[in-house]
Amino acid sequence: MQKILTVDYETSDSRVNFGQVLQAGIVISDEKLNIESKHNLRCRLKPNVIPSIGACLVHKIPVDVLKNFNKSHYEMVMEHYNLIKKFTPSIIMGFNSVAFDIEFYRRMLFKSLIPDIYQTNVGGNKHLDILNVSRAAKFADDSSIKTIMSEKNRPSFKLSDLSTANNIDNGENHDALNDCLNTIDLARIIFKKTNNIWNDSLKLTTKKDTENFILKNKAYTSLEYFYGNTHPFLVHHILFHPEYSWSINWDLSFNPDEYINMDRFNLAKALDSVPKVLRTVRANKSVVLLTSDYALSISKYAKIGIDEINRRIKVLDGNFEFIEKIKSILSDKAKEKMTMDQTEILHEETIYQGGFASEKDKSIMRQFHKVDWSERLNLIDKFSEERFQYFAECLIYEERPEVLPKSIYNKIHRSFAERLTSTNKEKWETIPSCFSEIDTLRETKYKDDKDMLALIDQYNKYIEEIQEKFESS
């Protein structure tokens, strides 16, 4: 039987390229969600990372742990990687994990020079995001899970709120291990009360399986979430995006007859209009797709009727030139966006933009982890790409700075000093922006909370220590 590995992270920052994981919770269970083992991985803060104080006040990791925990970030990454490797193939489950936790994990591996950056979705591993499954379960059966209303008077799908609403309590929220246990308890409710949704979700845990479902079903129900509610769309797949490979679908509430004879300019304009004619499904994002029956019960589709729905599908399938015109419009739009996005890309941001590592560089990466730190120094220049040379230097700087020649150490240290003391608005947390956030929180949100103010003071003192270290460079 395939294991389910439930994962959750507490991080220094929400910015995946420049933040780091501080705590990783991993719970191993069987397919029926019976827990077999629990793993609570922690590490100290990297010497070149400034944490977001807002994030610190959420997870409340003590300053002493951030400074002095006996395990480094690299050591935690290797422990995490080997644990996933041990249980491959498995279902990797989490809450909002595909958009957040998995992206953080990939960058953990990427910047630690571990070549298997897609470890969680290769080798038979699959993804299951309980946030998406929860929304689908609530849509299919309103009584399946309970929700509470947010400040905006909308159903809240935050894990903490869902846990409260469904009487789930495994200790303090925003502790990685506790959040894993809360996620499992929520999954158990869905498993019990909407088993059909649970089983349907398990069928779509890989990109390939999801694409097969899309191609097999002429019409199906795609669920999207916005304005606090789940919105069902009855859609028909017409093409895969020419640049991003996403599934592009026609919303069957729109009559294609009204669009087919449009010239390219007016069609492009119509496709940008709201409500959207085209609905995008990203097959690699652990989406939940349902049969057409669910959407056909919605009034706007029920009024159209199944006969007209089938006719519209035939019209779309029979107009190759029309589909090619849409494909061309989407391609041009994507290329235009790429051109506009040509800002300076730093090495930390190249996980997708920089292409795959060569086999030569992958081989050096594997060797890098097998030898002692002094030998790793000799491997730096063997990498064919500058970004991997940079990551190797950073790893040695973080783990064994005494190994680095003074010239290399000073170069890296000065570069981080420039980054962290910058007074500009940067892609990462800086010392000035951190102090600014501290002042704001003191004067507003926590001005009357003595305990939180005391905690803020501890973090403030710690940031002052970091400031002294880098401003003296």
Q: What is the pLDDT of residues 55-76, one digit of tens each?
A: 999 999 999 999 999 999 999 9
Closest CA to 46 of 472, 473, 471, 469: 469
- Per-residue pLDDT of 313-334, as tens digits, reads 999 999 999 999 999 999 999 9
* pLDDT at position 12 over 70: yes
What local confidence, expressed as pLDDT, does residue 32 receive?
Answer: 95
State the DSSP H helix or E strand holding residue 235, giving kind and residue range, or none if neither.
strand 229-240
Identify the DSSP state of 87.
T
Kindly indicate the confidence band of residue 152, based on its pLDDT and cuts at 50, 70 and 90: confident
Mean pLDDT calculated for residue range 234-263: 97
Q: How confident is the model at residue 342 (pLDDT cuts 50, 70, 90)?
A: low
CB 6 within 8 A of CB 94: yes
DSSP type of residue 274: S
- Average pLDDT of the residues in 23-28: 98
Across 239-248, average pLDDT: 96
Strand, coil or helix: 33: coil
Q: Report in angstroms the alpha-carbon separations of 260 from 7, 263, 279, 316.
A: 46, 9, 17, 9
How high is the pLDDT of residue 1?
A: 78
Q: How confident is the model at residue 228 (pLDDT cuts 50, 70, 90)?
A: confident
Q: Which residues, 6 or more positions from 172, have their beta carbon under 8 angstroms from its beta carbon?
A: 60, 178
Is 367 a residue whose pLDDT tops 80?
yes
CATH code for the part of the protein at 206-340: 3.30.1520.20
Quick one: what percent of the chain has pLDDT higher than 70? 99
Q: Architecture of domain 3-198 in CATH?
A: 2-Layer Sandwich (3.30)
Mean pLDDT of the region 287-316: 96
Sheet of strand 289-291: strand arrangement: 278-281, 247-251, 229-240, 220-226, 289-291
- Amino acid at the residue 269: K
pLDDT given for residue 229 in this prediction: 84
Cβ distance 259 to 277 under 8 Å?
yes
Quick one: pLDDT at residue 310? 98
Secondary structure (DSSP) of 125-189: -EEEEHHHHHHHHHHH-TTSS---B-TTSSB---HHHHHHHTT--SSSTT-HHHHHHHHHHHHHH
Q: What is the rounded average pLDDT of the residues 335-355?
A: 85
Distance of CA 64 to the CA centre of its chain: 28
Residue 20: which of 108, 96, 109 has the closest Cα? 108
Judged against a pLDDT cut of 80, whether residue 472 lies above it is answered with no
CA dihedral 127, 116, 111, 357 (to 10 degrees): -120
Angle at 262 between CA 260 and CA 264, to 5 degrees: 110
Give pLDDT tens digits for 266-277.
999 999 999 999
339 pLDDT tier (thresholds 50, 70, 90): confident
pLDDT at 104 over 80: yes
The domains of the chain are located at 3-198, 206-340, 349-471
What pLDDT score does 63 carry?
94
DSSP state of 107: H
Q: Please report the pLDDT score of residue 264 as a whole number.
A: 95
Cβ(255)–Cβ(312) below 8 Å: yes
The mean pLDDT of the chain is 95
Interatomic CA distance for residues 208 and 214, integer angstroms: 10
| Across 35-44, 148-157, 338-347, least confident range | 338-347
Give buried/exposed letters for 99-123 (b at 16+ CB in 10 A, else e): ebbbebbbbbbbbbbbbbbebbbee
DSSP bridge partners of 8: 25
Q: Which pair of tokens denotes residue 342?
A: 């040509």
The pLDDT of residue 62: 93
Place of tokens 């279902």: 91
Contacts of 5 (CB under 8 A, 6+ apart): 26, 27, 28, 84, 87, 90, 91, 92, 93
Nearest to residue 263, comparing CAs of 219, 322, 316, 319?
Answer: 322
**Percent of the chain at pLDDT above 90?**
93
- Taking the CB of residue 61, how many other CB atoms lie within 10 A of it? 22
Q: What is the mean pLDDT of residues 359-384?
A: 97
Question: For position 473, what pLDDT does the model report?
Answer: 62
pLDDT digits (tens, 9 = 90+) for 394-413: 999 999 999 999 999 999 99
Q: What is the pLDDT of residues 430-441, one digit of tens each?
A: 999 999 999 999
- Provide the pLDDT confidence category of residue 341 given band limits of 50, 70 and 90: low
243: number of Cβ within 10 Å? 14
> What is the model's pLDDT at position 97?
97
Residue 388's Cβ-count burial label (10 Å; 0-12, 13-18, 19+) is buried
